[in-house]
Amino acid sequence: SLLIVQSLVIVLYLFTLAVLAVYGLHRSALLWGYLRTRRLRATPARRFRDDELPVITVQLPMFNERFVAERLIDAAAKLDYPADRLEIQVLDDSTDDTVMIAGAICEKLRRRGVDITYLHRSERVGYKAGALEEGLRRSKGELVLVFDADFVPMPSAARDLVHFFTDPEIGMVQARWGHLNRDDSLLTRCQAMLLDGHFVIEHAARHRSGRFFNFNGTAGMWRKTAIADAGGWQHDTVTEDMDLSYRAQLAGWRFEYVPEVCVPAELPGDMNSFKSQQHRWAKGSVQTARKLLGRIIAAPIPWPIKREAFFHLTNNIAYLFVLLLALLQLPNMLIRRHMEDPRLLMLDVPLFWATCGSVAAFYLVAQRDAGGSYADALKRLPVMMGLGIGLAVNNGRAAIEGLFGRDVEFVRTPKRGASDGRASSLLAGYRGQWPWHNALELTLALYCTATLLVAIATRSWASVPFIALFSGGFLYVGLGSLLEALRAPKPAQSADDASAQAPSTHSSPRPQSMLS
């Protein structure tokens, strides 16, 4: 009976590692697809003449963004586009003094002749998707350009993207994200690496191979008829952008990715805000999988597109296997010492390299092609990999909620408005809140550290680097969350907090990144 239990542990360990290896091999396939096409450049079929330029509506959705509202609205007003063909909509669902700040800026710009409309909803029905849909009904443009509150579009952004719509089959054009505060801290540098992997490699590989890829909720331009044809903005997931993207491509619209156009944005400056953002992206991608994957599989589209959609939409479920792997390492290591079967290494080694080797190669290339260097990427790679592992509790919980839960409340990521490392000290209520599951992260950190000590004591040297990533990752994320919570000021309840505790005004039935 003991032998059966031991065998089951080893089989479960190898199965878990095999699942992660499959996702790792998929990442390697994306990297290979990117490398084969890395010299390609996005060019429109033709360019509009100045008298042909279509009317564009710029939508700026925001919710309690007092630190960044003015920066965003001013940047939108400076877009280099004919004034008679550019409309700006500030879609503000705020419950704090952002209402006064944004309203005053819009009034000032109107007096200067800018075509800008301020729309404030007292109830956040549909959250961001609801605000975008409400703005769409009132918009003048045939094209819609969206920027979230943490972005600072450059003046050329509208002109850089609009010419791709000379092709009547194009429904959406996505720009690459840049990073205003990449060098603020180790955390922001690691986040930048993660996002660069998504935008430099994943988007490019999917687009250039004819697979589906997604609008990222911001820094992208839509054809309004494509949104309507796909069924409009819907708010039964917390990643309304990914949901609409797949519905639009299933309806036959083509998307264009333009990595040469880079729009900078602010990265979350603290661990709990970062985890809140990651939780929403992970949960939303799984909700989108639950909603659309069956429809995608049944659609009359090529199997390579279906296969890629499966990996894209289910990628965050892999975090559950990361958690299982963390728990199984200690018993697996101890059992193997007694079994002394060298043949098991013939399975371990290729699975390990398919998992970790693919991650390393993927992000090294992404960092280099995003303008960095291999040397800098190598220095940060272990921390970035540890950060990805440390997110397993946060994102694994999000995956479970996406699979089985019915909560679709949109929780915004706090923005500080600081791009130079000197964030405002008045951020109480604009930080990510301390998550209860931080206790699980700290428990796993202790467990993996104990596993690491056992590995050293038993001279299981082959396991030490792998286990060290788990121990360091959970310590980094767990302690980071805890220390931020202990340092945070204890303010009186803010309007933002009050709105979070108020009964939801969401009208739909309560039924995605790291990025994939």
Structure token pair of residue 369: 């092609």
Q: What is the pLDDT of residues 154-202, one digit of tens each?
A: 999 999 999 999 999 999 999 999 999 999 999 999 999 999 999 999 9
Stretch 428-447: mean pLDDT, rounded? 80
Q: From CA 468, how far away is CA 455, in angstroms rounded?
A: 10
Residues assigned a catalytic role = 93, 241
Q: How many CB atoms lie within 10 A of CB 374?
A: 12
Confidence bin at 250 (pLDDT 50/70/90)? very high
Question: Which pLDDT belongs to residue 356?
Answer: 86
Q: Look over the chain and give the mean of its residue pLDDT values, rounded to a whole number.
A: 89
What count of other Cβ atoms lies within 10 Å of the Cβ of residue 123?
A: 11
Please choose, from the candidates 404, 401, 398, the residue with its C-alpha nearest in 3D space to the C-alpha of residue 281: 398
Encoded tokens for 389: 């592992």
pLDDT for position 430: 57
Confidence of residue 248 (pLDDT cuts 50, 70, 90): very high
Using only C-alpha atoms, what is the Rg of the chain? Answer: 23
Q: Decide: helix, strand or coil at residue 373.
A: coil
Q: What element of type H or E holds 387?
A: helix 374-390
Average pLDDT over residues 266-276: 94
Helix (H, G, I), strand (E, B) or coil at 96: coil
- Of 335-344, 357-366, 394-403, minimum mean pLDDT range: 335-344
Residues 6+ apart with CB under 8 A from 406: 509, 510, 511
88, 116 contact by CB (below 8 A): yes
- Would you place residue 340 in the very low, low, confident or very high pLDDT band (cuts 50, 70, 90)? low
pLDDT above 70 as % of the chain: 88
Q: Is the pLDDT of residue 491 over 60?
A: no
Helix (H) / strand (E) element for 497: namely helix 495-501
Q: Which two tokens stand for residue 347?
A: 């399975």
pLDDT tens track for 96-144 = 999 999 999 999 999 999 999 999 998 889 999 999 999 999 999 999 9
Q: What is the pLDDT of residues 191-244, one digit of tens each?
A: 999 999 999 999 999 999 999 999 999 999 999 999 999 999 999 999 999 999
Can you give the pLDDT at residue 2? 83
Give the C-alpha separation, 172 to 186, whole Å: 34
The whole-number pLDDT of residue 188 equals 96
pLDDT at 504 over 50: no
Higher pLDDT, 463 or 337: 463
% of the chain residues with pLDDT over 90 = 77
Residue 102 corresponds to which amino acid? A
